Structure 1
Amino acid sequence: MFETIIYKTEGPKAYITLNRPEVFNALNGKILEELHQAFNKCAEDETVRVVTLSGGNSKAFCSGADLKAGLADPNLGNILLSHYNPLILGMRNLPKPIICKLNGVAAGAGMSLALACDIIIANEETYLTELFVGIGLMPDAGSMYFLPRIIGSQKTFELCSTGRKVFIPEAVQLGIVSKAVKADDLEAEAEKLADQYATAATKSIGQMKSVLNRTFENNLETVLGFEAEAQTKCGKSEDFAEGVMAFLQKRPTAFKGK
């Protein structure tokens, strides 16, 4: 079905793998479209409770936009509006956790793609870079939204205006990356986290994402309202009923993600 990515599911776990290793998983119209379709499949498939996004066997997670392929439209804003933005919005609005398994370099829009995930586990030997300024552009595909919320305005300006490499130990310190592991341990660590989310209360995690997406643009009173609305939905879920029963019966939970 897909040409530039690999999509597979194993029970409640979905795996989306960028599959253009010959160009270090550079992004063109085709792969952006297929990524959008894959995340839509995850949203529509009620059995999927966690998604892992990775760069597969490529030396890079994603090297950014495929400049060698040329521009489909000289108006770069049109390209963002038609291809990048729908994908990023689809990822953020997906009511299920997305793990980024950062196997290699995440550069430019590739860094934006990683930031759009909910949690990043990275090979400790790699780095991220907002290299847009090196070709006379500014960061896009969500970087100017995600980064300031993680590291603040001044640090975002520094990283974006210099385009310097942020190696993983610093990325962990800044809060961009959740965990750094040795390259040989990356697969196992990502899978361990996927297993945890695959048996978690998926509905509540989806509501967490929904509220977090709106937190910074609203005042406390409004966010308190969002929390109340989301908690009402969680309280009507089967997982909540199971969680309370398991607590009362002093046994492990058996969440179904419903």
Structure 2
Amino acid sequence: MTYESIQFRIENGIAVLTLNRPERLNSFTQAMHLEVRDALTRLQADKSARVLVLTGAGRGFCAGQDLNDRAVEPGAPGVDLGESVEKFYAPLVLAIKNLPMPVICAVNGVAAGAGANLALACDIVLAAKSASFIEAFCKLGLIPDTGGTWHLPRLVGPARALGLALLGDKLPAEKAEQWGLIWRCVPDESLMDEAMAMATHFATAPTKGLAFTKKAMQESFANTLPEQLQLEAQMMRELGYSHDYREGVAAFIAKRPAQFKGE
């Protein structure tokens, strides 16, 4: 597929996916959804990739859905927004959550609506100091989709989650960090350097162990403690036979840097 709405590359184990409609604050159209889906499918198939960095071009990360892509005039027949969620946004969130590698989101500007919740679906969120998060759905008579009703209360608690969702106020990146919504707020000029430095670290880390950690954290919300302990035992059993575990132990004993292969 030839990409017009995104940029995508894989180099040295690092995949970088850039939403690239800066004139529309990288808001989603159906065409962009299809391109992102194709890129994530390629990423899954590429055995060299060990980390994904997601960011946006221009002055914003993502303003959510491009309303011009499915404009509806007052009095005109409505559109099936549930179909849009089922067909595009839900699969996008699940694809990111299920990637067997860390996903870093570098929020370079405003993240609004589905754009905010897309960022929150990633494993580690870095945000430029000038960035902000806006749950803009309430201004359109909608609910926070793209996993927003799942991630928000888990990240910041029910009181702050409801405040963000019902009021639609802009949350500056610095406060987002203070609230625990994101991992870190960094100076604007340092954002991509920080993101790529973290990606470089993950590209040489024990990827399978990181993928299992990600999966175990996700499943903990649905498991009882005994169920989670059993999951941990299953994962540790499999990881104990991995090359990376043996290499990690050997490197520790020899007091040398480990050479992980992600296996």
Q: Which runs of 5+ in 2 are unaligned?
A: 73-77
> Corresponding residue for 2:253?
248
Percent identity for Structure 1 against Structure 2: 39
Aligned-pair distance for 1:40? 1.9
Aligned-pair distance for 1:71? 5.4
Q: Which runs of 5+ in 1 are unaligned?
A: none
Structure 1 CA distance for aligned equivalents of residues 181 and 169 of structure 2: 15
Q: Secondary structure at the match of 2:53?
A: strand
Aligned-pair distance for 1:165? 0.6
Deviations 1:139-181 (A, max 9, x none): 0011111111111112111110000011011100111121111
Q: Secondary structure at the match of 1:48?
A: coil
When the two structures are superposed, what TM-score results if normalisation uses the length of structure 2? 0.95
Deviations 1:23-61 (A, max 9, x none): 1100111111211221222221110001100002x2110
Deviates more, 1:45-54 or 1:234-243: 234-243
> Corresponding residue for 2:40?
39
> Corresponding residue for 1:167?
172
Structure 2 CA distance for aligned equivalents of residues 211 and 38 of structure 1: 25
Structure 1 CA distance for aligned equivalents of residues 197 and 147 of structure 2: 28
> Corresponding residue for 2:90?
85
1:130-141 to 2 correspondences below 5 Å: 130-141=135-146
CA RMSD of aligned residues (A): 1.3
> Corresponding residue for 1:146?
151
Structure 1 CA distance for aligned equivalents of residues 36 and 12 of structure 2: 20
Structure 2 counterpart of 1:228, from 227, 233, 250: 233
Structure 1 counterpart of 2:186, from 181, 201, 225: 181
Q: What amino acid sits opposite 2:48 in the alignment? A: T
> Corresponding residue for 2:110?
105
Q: What amino acid sits opposite 2:173 in the alignment? A: I
Structure 1 CA distance for aligned equivalents of residues 229 and 53 of structure 2: 31
Q: Secondary structure at the match of 1:106?
A: strand
Q: What amino acid sits opposite 2:14 in the alignment? A: K
Deviations 1:103-149 (A, max 9, x none): 01000000011011100111011210101000110100111111111
Q: What amino acid sits opposite 1:66 in the alignment? A: D
When the two structures are superposed, what TM-score results if normalisation uses the length of structure 1? 0.97
Q: What amino acid sits opposite 1:153 in the alignment? A: P
Q: 8 Å contact 2:174–2:185 — kept in the other structure?
A: yes
Q: What amino acid sits opposite 1:23 in the alignment? A: R
> Corresponding residue for 1:29?
30
Deviations 1:53-99 (A, max 9, x none): 0002x211000100012259811111100111111101000010011
Structure 1 CA distance for aligned equivalents of residues 225 and 262 of structure 2: 29
Q: What amino acid sits opposite 2:52 in the alignment? A: V
> Corresponding residue for 1:49?
50
Structure 2 CA distance for aligned equivalents of residues 71 and 47 of structure 1: 41
Answer yes or no: is 1:3 the counterpart of 2:7.
no
Aligned-pair distance for 1:233? 2.1
1:106-125 to 2 correspondences below 5 Å: 106-125=111-130
- Runs (4+) off by over 2 Å: none
Q: What amino acid sits opposite 2:126 in the alignment? A: I
